[in-house]
Chain A
Amino acid sequence: MYIGVDVGGTYTDAVLLEKNQIKASAKAPSGKNLLSSILEAIDKVLQGVDPGRLKRIVFSTTMITNLIAERKYDPVALLLIPGPGLSYTYYQFNTFTRILTGTIDYRGRETVSLKEREVEAALDEIADQGFKKVCVIGKFSPRNTSHEKRLAMLVKEKYPDWEVELGHLAGGQLNFPRRVVTTYLTAATRESFHHFLNLVRQSLAERQITAEALILKADGGTLPMENSDKIPVETIFSGPAASTLGALALTSPGETAVIADIGGTTTDLALILNGQPLLSAKGARIEGQLTQVRTLAVKSVPIGGDSVLERMGNEIIIHGKRMGPAYCMGGPVPTPTDALRVLGLTTLGDQNRAAEAMAILGERNGSRVIAEKILNLVVDGISSQINKMFQEWELEPAYRVWEILQKRKVRPSTVVGVGGGANGLVDRIAEKLGCRSIIPPYAAVANAVGAAVAKTTLQLSLRADTERGSYLLQEEGFEGKIDSKQFNEKQALDILRERLIRMAARHGLDVKPEQLEVTHQEVFNMVRDWQTKGRLIDITVQTPRGITGRIEAGGQEG
């Protein structure tokens, strides 16, 4: 049995799955105290069930999102080693920052060494300011970790009680400013996140729940709770990931589809390309700051069932805000839900009040006419954003000839509607896009279903430079020697497979070598003076992404 819990802004949802069937689902209002909402939802779905039968419980939580939004995190000082390049005036990290001497180049060669004297002086300043958390981030540190590691040692020698966060571990992609922000947010939120996870674990223990507990990440993968406090920022924005996975679990495999999660205030859009949720090309933007956190490509459109409608001259305008429930449900202003009610596309609320809402918008004798008009407005708004999303995906830069040539004309075949506002709207959106529409059963708790079926995914990247005679395993920060000039992709893949399987085993994941997927592979011959001097090999392998299974019909809608 699995439990999925999704902590949303308004509600905390939970579902109980058994053999791909939903056995129970529950909603609890999300209060100030996240923990009590979570426990309330879990207790509801577990009624009459022996907790010993639970195998795993997966959480999608806004904990880190809230923490960062409310700036309730710990003060962190930054030690940066940017070397030459972009002027430092463009680095605005809004915290105590010291720039240190030292340069690593794109190949991972040290071109300027650290000045330890200078480091000491910087540490004294940080100590004077009262910081106990320090991030050490170097430009090109994923290509050579030595400066960051050496600095961390110097910090630990002088201030053993400080926490030090290393850039190459928090942000292993190439992008120094994003690495800084990612490392900073990791350091800032770790302690609170750790504390929160401990509380969750304790509460589970009190309920005799011994099932494996996992946290959902923004890219739709999960991590065991014991490991997830290493990378707290990766749990940010797991809500949209949860609803995407949920919709995936509730529909048939292999499709190219749009998932429209139509809520009260917003519609969240996600793309499924050939059965796989599309990842965003760049990392997440968190509170305006760009990070390296991998997320699903999700677009939030400010149109929902409860959006405020207003008449301006002859036009009707949709405002990107909610002032309460729909007019037909006792709300203060006309909304798209009222239009749906008038057209008989929903049974929510009161028919007469819905007609009244149309009258407020100025159409006294033909409320159906204006309701149609509103519906078209909403459908146009959402479908044009869907088209835009596909266009944006097509326009994502590509750096190879074949990528540019094959990246054309992919359009969805299906629109999957989840969320409260999906009924009545999704059919029309699909019609507009020339797709078929699906509103799966349990669409209202798709988020929690998504959390329940999320898979643990791990990835490992290797970069080898045969001329320099070394390779680096990014996620582990491990540097190895290459003895032979003949080192090739096959050997690199062998190393990756072996280490990733071991890593997976540590995470309680049973993966066979043939299941591992190569997600990135790049090999360049280094030619100097018409001679091949070595090879640059970049490979990333991943355990299978996706979901543990698809939900079969049956059970009860809660």
Chain B
Amino acid sequence: MRCKQTGLIFFPAFDWAISPTHPEREERLLYTRDQIFEEGIIDLPQIAEFTPQLASIHDIARTHFCVPQVESQTTEAHLIAAGAAITLADQIVAGLIDNGFALVRPPGHHAMRVVHGNRGFCNINNEAVMVEYLRSRHGLKRVAIIDTDVHHGDGTQDIFWHDPDVLFISFHQDGRTLYPGTGFIYELGGPCAYARTINIPLPPGTTDDSLLYIVDNLILPVLEEFRPDFIVNSAGQDNHYTDPLGSMRITAQGYARLTEKLRPDLAVLEGGYAIETALPYVNMAIILALAGLDYSNVREPDFWPGRFKETSQRTEQLKRLVDGLLKHWKNRDTTLTGRGKTVNGYYEREKLIFYDTDYIEEHQTEKLRICSNCTGYLSIESEVSHGFGQAGKVLCLSVPFGACSKCRNEAADLYTGAKKSVVYNYIYLQDKSSDYLLGYDTKAGKEWRP
């Protein structure tokens, strides 16, 4: 008999929407609410319902560089969604609950380190904010994030790209066929974190069997070797066979088995826009699987066993994919090159980022100090153009957990030096090793501590 419970925060944000007819609107979790309430599962002794705290501005700024400020990129709904993940994570780390599910809106996995606006329905990366909170407040060392949304979790990937202590694995529908158009097998992380990013692009039409093959043969063995202190599931539900945006063929039963195998400490809801035909059933199945309850009776009205069969051709294709990725994983400590170039001890790469919701184009130059004592600080020069003209440049300096004093000092000096610059509108220093955060408005000559 298990004694600990599965914590649940259900925050459907019934009064928040991106716009009235947008997929990310008030109605999204309505039928999920109806289903969960009607089934009475919150009354079960295995389930404990919590109410979310709000994430603080500081919690957000520890993870993101919001331009110009956290307050301008977040609504209360964002703080509640990220706060929900934090609330449950606190409970789990304290050993008060066994695992948890933050069934919240708005979602977050497309939100990157620098935030100029909304991308892929996301402003704030709920999982990343929670993970950095856990590392900062509870000293957690190694975290794994498994992204099971149909879209590539490019925001989470961006945030942890250079971080060898955070394993990010995402399976998703092949980027050549779906937003955001990334997440290919060759995207494997920065020079100091090789293969701590693993992408598994899946062909449209992938079924439960193939998905579970990948879990059994790739994700679980990698997790086993990585030995994370905490496993997060970015639980998107748009791999469902009825999802209007994705083209996969995963069922509620498939999601339940996936959850059962992954055994995440905390699942956080991401996408999923088949609000009637998928969400009520998939959410229910995931809750039951997390709580170790029998989910065999959960099924969609139009589903029958054997409805989706995998072709042998696809099975072969996936086998090759898994084998190739496992090879990269095996060589993770001997491979030191990422895509990009290293000049004078600094690794540099250029990035173009498009904000689909807000129509912003961002150009980034990312520079990582290659350091033998720590994972190196990161400087990002970011320039955006909105449809209506240039909005200027910002400089973001991020010092990682466990940074050496040389990296910390160099980043701090850069920050101080840039304050006199006329090139940047805003300058940010984010020192995770000491949880010290600063922002500076060069035009107003004003500094603040988020």
Contacts and interface: CB of A to CB of B under 8 A. Distances in A.
B374 interface: no
Contacts of B280: 106
A522 interface: yes
A81 to B, nearest CB: 12
B112 interface: no
Contacts of B276: 107
Interface in A511-550: 522, 524-527, 529-532, 536
A401 B50 contact: no
B90 to A, nearest CB: 14
B38 interface: yes
**What class of interface size applies to chain A in its complex with B?**
35 or more
B77 A395 contact: no
A554 interface: no
B38 A524 contact: no
B37 interface: yes
Centre residue among A176, A400, A526, A531 by max chain B CB count within 10 A: A400
Interface stretch (B11-19, B199-207, B328-336, B421-429): B11-19
A525 B27 contact: yes
Given A87-B294, A401-B13, A530-B21, A175 B301 contact: no
Contacts of A522: 14
B50 A397 contact: yes
A404 B53 CA distance: 8
B21 to A, nearest CB: 5
Interface string B55-94: 0000000000000000000011100100000000000000
B297 A87 contact: yes
B51 A395 contact: yes
B13 A400 contact: yes
Interface stretch (B28-36, B231-239, B391-399): B28-36
A312 interface: no
Contacts of A524: 14, 26-27, 30
Interface stretch (B39-47, B125-133, B144-152, B263-271): B39-47
A478 interface: no
B298 interface: yes
Given A404-B80, A524-B26, A531-B21, A86 B39 contact: yes
Contact of B39 (A112, A176, A282, A399): A176
B306 interface: no
A84 B299 contact: yes
A84 B300 CA distance: 8
Contact of B37 (A103, A175, A404, A529): A175
B15 to A, nearest CB: 5
B25 to A, nearest CB: 6
Contacts of B10: 397, 399
Contacts of B54: 404
Contact of B31 (A87, A88, A107, A402): A107
B169 interface: no
B104 to A, nearest CB: 10
A86 B80 contact: no
B284 interface: yes
Interface string A153-187: 00000000000000000000011111000000000
B253 to A, nearest CB: 11
Nearest to B15: A400
Contact of A399 (B11, B20, B21, B297): B11
Nearest to B299: A84
A552 interface: no
Nearest to A522: B14
Interface residues of B, number: 47
B296 interface: yes
B384 interface: no
A530 B35 CA distance: 24
Given A399-B10, A524-B30, A85 B51 contact: no
A111 interface: yes
Contacts of B15: 400-402
B43 A290 contact: yes
Centre residue among B25, B37, B75 by max chain A CB count within 10 A: B37
Contact of A404 (B21, B33, B49, B51): B51
B38 A140 contact: yes
Contacts of A529: 244
Interface string A453-492: 0000000000000000000000000000000000000000
B107 interface: no
Given A395-B51, A397-B50, A525-B27, A178 B34 contact: no
B293 interface: yes
A404 B9 CA distance: 13
A527 B80 CA distance: 25
Interface string B271-310: 0000010001000100010000111111101000000000
A88 B40 contact: no
A510 interface: no
B254 interface: no
A393 to B, nearest CB: 10
Contacts of A105: 301
A257 B20 CA distance: 41
Centre residue among A87, A396, A522 by max chain B CB count within 10 A: A87
B246 interface: no
A174 B34 contact: yes
B38 A176 contact: yes
Centre residue among A177, A396, A532 by max chain B CB count within 10 A: A177
Contacts of B298: 84-86
Contacts of A88: 297
B1 to A, nearest CB: 15
A385 B40 CA distance: 27
A401 B16 contact: yes
A401 B104 CA distance: 12
A405 interface: yes
B284 A85 contact: yes
Contact of B288 (A86, A89, A397): A86
A183 to B, nearest CB: 14
Contacts of A217: none
B183 interface: no
B52 interface: yes
Interface string A77-114: 00000001111111000000000000101110001100
A87 B296 contact: yes
A140 B31 CA distance: 12
A284 to B, nearest CB: 13
A168 to B, nearest CB: 12
Contacts of A397: 9-10, 49-51
A529 B51 CA distance: 32
Contacts of B76: 401, 404-405
Nearest to A111: B301
B294 A89 contact: yes
Interface in B204-239: none
Given A401-B80, A522-B14, A85 B39 contact: yes
Interface string A411-454: 00000000000000000000000000000000000000000000
B43 A177 contact: yes
Interface string A123-143: 000000000000000011000
A323 interface: no
A144 B37 CA distance: 16
Nearest to B33: A399
Interface in A257-306: 282, 290
Contacts of B21: 527, 530-532
Nearest to A283: B43
13 contacts: A85-B35, A86-B284, A86-B298, A87-B294, A90-B44, A177-B43, A178-B40, A399-B14, A404-B54, A527-B21, A530-B21, A531-B21, A532-B20
Given A87-B293, A106-B280, A531-B21, 16 more contacts: A84-B297, A85-B284, A86-B297, A106-B31, A106-B34, A174-B34, A174-B38, A175-B40, A176-B38, A290-B43, A397-B50, A399-B12, A400-B15, A524-B26, A525-B20, A525-B25
5 nearest A-B residue pairs (beta carbon): A106-B34, A87-B294, A177-B40, A111-B301, A174-B37
